[in-house]
Amino acid sequence: MTYPPAHFEIVKALLSEGRFLLEGEAAFLSLRENKDFYTKFFHESFRLDVSITADYALLKSSKDSDNVARSICVYLAILCYELDHQDGNLLELLSFGTFSMAEWEDRFEQSSYYNVMEATDRLRDGNQRQKFYQLLARRGLIKRIDDDLFQFTPAHRYFLEYARELNMREMMVQRDN
């Protein structure tokens, strides 16, 4: 049998590196075109589910208390909260804006939610946060422009969807009470 093109890259990115595949990568294109094959492939081989959207894809780990994911949520939550203080649409800022790590170091330290960061291992101080940015870049969540500047890739929406769901759940709870 023959495998779809870029099979090695797909498996390496999704399984070995655990990162997002993004629109624009050859592997992503191949993955989307062979969606059925890979859904089955990953399920039969590893009992894992692939999630493919219009501009990103990832292999879910079927764990809902992952530490990396929690750190990312804390990071994004505080970033969004602080970002909301400035003019402009939050979602557009996240999609198209450029962020400076040095500037955000200051903003995080002044944030009223800084204690949550301090309580999160991967985010607890400047050094850890530097490593965290490397992790984000490795996992395909941000694209680094230089040592200081970065942009979010479309993959960040995966976590925004989670926030929306959370909000929805909370509203249901309030309605029921």
Partner 1 sequence: MILKAEPRTVMRFIEDNFEALSQLYRIQLKKNVIPVENFDQVTRHKGDIVTRRLSAFKILRSVGDDYRLAEEVGAYLGFLMQEFKPLLPEQLRRYHTSIQDVYELLTIRPNLDDKTRSLRLEHLYNEVQSFLDNVTNNTYTLLKRSQRLKVNRQQMTYSERVKEARMLIEQYIDPLNRIVNLNDANSIASLLQNIGSEINLDRMANYPPSVIERYEQLDNLLRQVNTRLQRESDVIRRELTPLIERIKRESEVLGGWLVFLERPLLLTVPDFAKRNPQNIFGDQMAADLKIYMEQFRQHRQASRIKLSEGPVVQETPLLDRQLYRQRLKAALPINDFFTWCLKAIADHPAERQESDLFELTSLLFSSEEQYELVFSGQRQRVKLNEQYYILPLFQVMLKPEEQ
**What is the binding site for partner 1 (CB under 8 A)?**
14-20, 58-66, 68-70, 72-74, 76-78, 80-81, 84, 87, 89-92, 113, 116, 119-120, 139, 158-168, 170
Taking the least distance from each CB to partner 1, the nearer of 81 and 148 is 81
Q: How far is the CB of 24 from partner 1 (least distance, A)?
A: 19
Taking the least distance from each CB to partner 1, the nearer of 35 and 60 is 60
Taking the least distance from each CB to partner 1, the nearer of 85 and 147 is 85
Contacts of 71 (CB under 8 A, 6+ apart): 120, 121, 122, 123, 132
Q: How far is the CB of 81 from partner 1 (least distance, A)?
A: 6
Q: How far is the CB of 74 from partner 1 (least distance, A)?
A: 5
Q: 55 by DSSP, 3-state: which?
A: coil
Residue 122: is it exposed, middle or buried by C-beta count within 10 angstroms (0-12/13-18/19+)?
A: middle
* Alpha-carbon span 120 to 164, nearest angstrom: 22
Q: How far is the CB of 146 from partner 1 (least distance, A)?
A: 26
Tell me the C-alpha to C-alpha distance, in Å, between residue 81 and each of 29, 90, 114, 126: 34, 9, 11, 19
CA dihedral (150, 126, 88, 160) positive or negative: positive
Taking the least distance from each CB to partner 1, the nearer of 135 and 149 is 135
